[in-house]
Amino acid sequence: MKLFRKQAKVYLRRVKSATRFLLHHYPRITLISLIILTLFLYPRSPKKIEVSPPPVSKFIFLSPTPDLTPKSKNIPLPKISAEHFMILDRDSKQVMYQKDADDPVPPASTTKIMTALVALDSFPLTREITVNTSYSDGQVIGFKPGEILTVEQLLYALLVQSGNDAAEILAENFPGGRPEFISAMNAKAANLRLTHTAFTNPTGLDEEGHFSSAADLARLADVAMDNSEFARIVGTENAVLPGNHVLTNLNQLLGKVPGVLGIKTGFTDNAGQALVTLVNRGHTIILVVLKSTDRFSDTQKLIDWSYSNFSW
């Protein structure tokens, strides 16, 4: 019991001592407590996170496409006889000049451009064809029955010396014969959107319902000259076929006027003189003259004027 009382007295003294300490130091303790609490609760500065900038896009700067459109210098057009004509820049497909180019007129033997394309679409060049009959209408080579010619040789006769007999031989040997060949010519014209063109024969002889236009023939020539076989043949000045058939190109500008590479002449009484020409003097143009009284002079004047008047 005495021990308990002694421990109680010690405890009470410690309590009184602690109480006096707290009462004496209460403001200081309170301040320190507030400081500690503030430091604990106050948001610390966020840790800086290094963020890499987004990668810079790599732009590819292309050089501007050069303007290849021909620009006119307004040099007066030379006087020509053709009633219908068109000058087409082949690269840009821009019409450089035209006169009544959409009017449907007889195309004469420029028809054979389409005849050749249908034959090239339909026959291998090495196919052999036997001539069954002779022909005498218009410009002919003079093939005789029994002669054997390849399709390639017939194309030379067709395009170099404009043989009507070559056109008829190719048409008659088409699957379905001549009528189907002419249907194929018209189908190709429709596919190429030659809206002022219709064919009733493979030669270009005058016939009701057979017509084309300068604009359509320019478009047709542009397509035809993409065919390497066609381009090679129309650029040929002379050739010799079996049977001693000597061919001379009817295009008098070929080999004489710089840059002329073809392509097709034409003439009938109703059509007058016609000529489709491709020229390359650094820039390629296609010229079509229809219903002319001097197709070679007209075309040469237009060639010289085109390269003098226009710059690219």
Catalytic, out of 112, 188, 264, 291: 112
Catalytic, out of 33, 162, 213, 292: 162
For 28, phi and psi rounded to 5 degrees?
Answer: -70, -45
Distance CA 163, CA 135 (A): 10
Here the tokens at position 239 are 């050739």
Say whether 112 is catalytic.
yes
Say whether 308 is catalytic.
no
Are residues 105 and 271 in contact, defined by beta-carbon separation less than 8 angstroms? yes
Catalytic, out of 33, 71, 109, 134: 109
Q: CA torsion sign, 213 to 219 to 223 to 229?
A: positive
Buried b (16+ CB within 10 A) or exposed e, 186-216: bebbeebebebbbbebbbbbeeeebbbbbbb
Strands (DSSP E) found in the chain: 71-72, 84-89, 95-99, 128-130, 148-150, 238-241, 245-248, 260-268, 272-280, 284-292, 310-311
Say whether 109 is catalytic.
yes
Strand, helix or coil for residue 191: helix
Catalytic site residues? 109, 112, 162
